[in-house]
Structure 1
Amino acid sequence: MTTFDAILTEQSELLTRRLIRIVGDRETAEDLRQETLARAWRSGPRGAQPPVVRAWLHRTGTNLALDELRRRKRREHVPLHAAMADTDGRGGAGPRDPLLRDALASLTAHQRLVLLLRFEAGLSLREVGELLDLGEDAARKRVARARSAFLEAYRTASADDTRPTIVLLLGREDPAPYERWLRDSGARVRTLAGTQAGLDLAGADGLVLGGSETDIHPSLYGEPLGPHVKDTDITRHLRDLSALRQALRSGLPIVGVCSGTQLLNVLHGGTLHQDLPADGFDALDHRDAHDVATADDTLARRVLGNRPGVVSEHHQAVKTLGRGLHVTSLAPDGLIEALEVPGHPFALGVQWHPERCTGDVGRQMANALVAAAAA
């Protein structure tokens, strides 16, 4: 048996266990393992050193597992307008952002289809091309043209409304407290709930990543699933990470709330405490109101003051700080409560919930975000 084949045999069960942790069932994991091994036999790094081969195997398997999770979420397609609709509680639905609806309605049917496939169904450019019988490069151009047409239509539709548009990303959570929090400070809010990615961040002036009822899957920061991790939603969090990348590249003002802060840290290569009590943080209840200390000469200090009182509800938090990030607020027990992206005009992550804070703390943060978005 060759060394390469020996490594594949050695890693087979380890790879299966890793895939089970990601996709949740052994049958699917075994199918993905077989696909990973098939790819290894076809095009794996046969001449590489054993550590390189092992890393290649686990990276390839993980990518296949993440693709499987995305496909599961794509099987139920929705009309293009559905991500912009909100049930009114009586079985009906109304548009969250009428300007967005009008901009979409002004596009051609083909442009709407291209945007649906790319940004709501989440298909890759290669997959879009296959469905439209195009090459990947041609699909990229069509998506770019459709997105540009949408942006122009959205600008025209919103010409008389000078409020900045804040995109709010949520999962299963109730959007009402976040929407009130932002609208009271003068924002127009576009809410994308569930796992619908919408039209990426087209037309947005700012981004808010809301808190999450589900934990961030440890595979996103390279750790095994621990016993205290609750329900996870890796598709939603992959969507949020993608939105964060876009916002950081384009300079959009950003606020990450609770798990939004954790994702900002993960995006920069950081890790998380999977459970605070299990990691020794049990002197202070981080599911209650408490004070935090802000650092000098930081965005957090300018917006919130020296020692704001905040409202928290979390059992996870930043453990290893991501590359390039700056800690700007600490809890009395030393836990990181706020971080910022140096060099970005407004990128602030807070471990607490400003939309629930009483007094000036929550309002000051919303006012500062909306002002930055308007600018």
Structure 2
Amino acid sequence: MTFDAILTEQTGPLTRRLTRMVGDRETAEDLRQETFARAWRRAPQGAEAPVLRAWLHRTATNLALDELRRRRRREHVPLHAGLVDPGGSADEAARDPRLRDALGQLTAHQRLVLLLRFEAGLSLREVGELLDLNEDAARKRVSRARAVFLEAYAAAGAPDERPTVVLLLGREDPAPYEAWLAGAGARVRTLTGEQAGLDLAGADALVLGGSETDIHPSLYGEPVSPHTLRTDLTRHLRDLAALRHALTTNLPVLGVCSGAQLLNVLGGGTLHQDLPASGFDALDHRDAHDIATGDGTLARRLLGTAPAVVSEHHQAVDRLGGGLRVTSTAPDGLIEALEVPGHPFALGVQWHPERCADGAEGTGRRTAEALVDAALAA
């Protein structure tokens, strides 16, 4: 059995085990995603299937125990103590942009030890246990991380009022996306496939960029077709976790191309694994074309009735996922955009708004501006 096949096989058993332990399916799914991410980085991939299964279940159990320990909160000194108005509320302090900027200057590990110590309220001994350190080593790491945080806070000066948009990519070129978002007034933080894990600290909005790789069919319960190109399961598991976070926290989110497909997959929908094989060969979905937006949709309000777009894809939404609404279609009937009704801004577009050509330039600009406006409002 291949490594990917074992991960797919264990998705259900691990989710059920974690749900029993933490009592919350959503948290269990997040912990399962983290288990898979760690497996890709650390698991003995050449081991026999029983060894790898045991490794997965042991790692998942340890993550669940860490989560249960984290929930045992106690009185503690907040991270922002002494930095902001002591008479202000905790929510007001959390919205201080200088605090967020200072946290953004830290490494993921430095943020982790500070959050464990000051937000979760764990003792130094407990922090050490979680990080496999003794208490003295944990004290030193917390002290160093807080010193870096305080230095970054002092250097923050006047806050940058631009909203921070986190851009998730794999191995794709980030430059077109970054220029497109920055042109609309966003401060862009890019996470690519070179970085392990997910870091949404301080994000005001989220963009899932297109992917050079196909979404693994196991994520929507179908076998791999002969037309499916190479996949990147780790990247798309990360992106699904980010989408789930955005939807549950009302974070504005835009899925581009495969990002729109992942939004559908998250809702339980399926994909056409290859458009020509599914009968969609009358329209070139690798070029500029018009789309029709639906009445009363976010796409109609942003883009009008028949905007021009630029596409490049051989897969697309097939069966629509739950809780989603189709907002635009191509002349051949293919779904070109979908949204989450009731969410402040959750839009998936099958086309590429970061690519400007002819009439599509206004479409891309208006999409970016709307996302930035939603981030500012949030």
The alpha carbon displacement at 1:226 in A equals: 1.1
Q: Please list the CA deviations of residues 190-235 of structure 1 after superposition, one character each: whole Å capped at 9, or x if unmatched.
A: 0001152566321111010000000000111111111111110010
Match of 2:167, SS state, is strand
Q: Equivalences for 1:91-170 in 2 at 5 Å?
A: 103=103, 111-112=110-111, 114=113, 131-132=131-132, 157=156, 159-170=158-169
Aligned-partner Cα distance in 2 for 1:74–1:296: 49
Q: Please list the CA deviations of residues 95-137 of structure 1 after superposition, one character each: whole Å capped at 9, or x if unmatched.
A: xxxx988535569x974464899xxxxxxxx999554369xxx
The equivalent position to 1:362 in structure 2, one of 356, 364, 368, is 364
The equivalent position to 1:72 in structure 2, one of 40, 51, 64, is 40
Q: Equivalences for 1:1-375 in 2 at 5 Å?
A: 16=1, 22-23=4-5, 67=35, 70-73=38-41, 103=103, 111-112=110-111, 114=113, 131-132=131-132, 157=156, 159-194=158-193, 196=195, 200-358=199-357, 359-375=361-377
- The answer to whether the 8 Å contact 1:195/1:239 transfers is no
The alpha carbon displacement at 1:252 in A equals: 1.1
Counterpart of 1:233, as a letter, is: D
- The answer to whether the 8 Å contact 1:115/1:199 transfers is no
The alignment of Structure 1 onto Structure 2 pairs a total of residues equal to 286
**Where does residue 86 of structure 1 map in the other structure?**
none
Aligned-partner Cα distance in 2 for 1:299–1:206: 17
CA gap 1:68/1:354 in 2 versus in 1, 3 angstroms: closer
Aligned-partner Cα distance in 2 for 1:161–1:261: 30
Q: Please list the CA deviations of residues 218-263 of structure 1 after superposition, one character each: whole Å capped at 9, or x if unmatched.
A: 1111111111111100100011111111111111111100000000
- The answer to whether the 8 Å contact 2:33/2:241 transfers is no
Match of 2:369, SS state, is helix
Aligned-partner Cα distance in 2 for 1:220–1:323: 15
Match of 2:189, SS state, is strand
RMSD of aligned Cα (Å):
4.1
CA gap 1:105/1:259 in 2 versus in 1, 3 angstroms: closer
Q: Percent of counterpart pairs with the same letter?
A: 68
Match of 2:41, SS state, is helix
Aligned-partner Cα distance in 2 for 1:271–1:173: 24
Counterpart of 2:271, as a letter, is: L
Match of 1:354, SS state, is coil
Counterpart of 1:374, as a letter, is: L
Match of 1:167, SS state, is strand
- The answer to whether the 8 Å contact 1:171/1:194 transfers is yes
Match of 2:261, SS state, is helix
CA gap 1:235/1:110 in 2 versus in 1, 3 angstroms: closer
Match of 2:165, SS state, is strand
4+ long deviations beyond 3 Å: 63-70, 99-107, 109-117, 126-131, 153-159
Q: Please list the CA deviations of residues 239-288 of structure 1 after superposition, one character each: whole Å capped at 9, or x if unmatched.
A: 11111111111111111000000000001110101111111111111111
Aligned-partner Cα distance in 2 for 1:158–1:189: 19
Q: Which runs of 5+ in 1 are unaligned?
A: 1-15, 24-28, 45-62, 76-98, 118-125
TM-score (norm 1): 0.66
TM-score (norm 2): 0.65
Match of 2:336, SS state, is strand
Aligned-partner Cα distance in 1 for 2:154–2:255: 26
Q: Which runs of 5+ in 2 are unaligned?
A: 18-30, 44-98, 117-125
- The answer to whether the 8 Å contact 1:228/1:274 transfers is yes
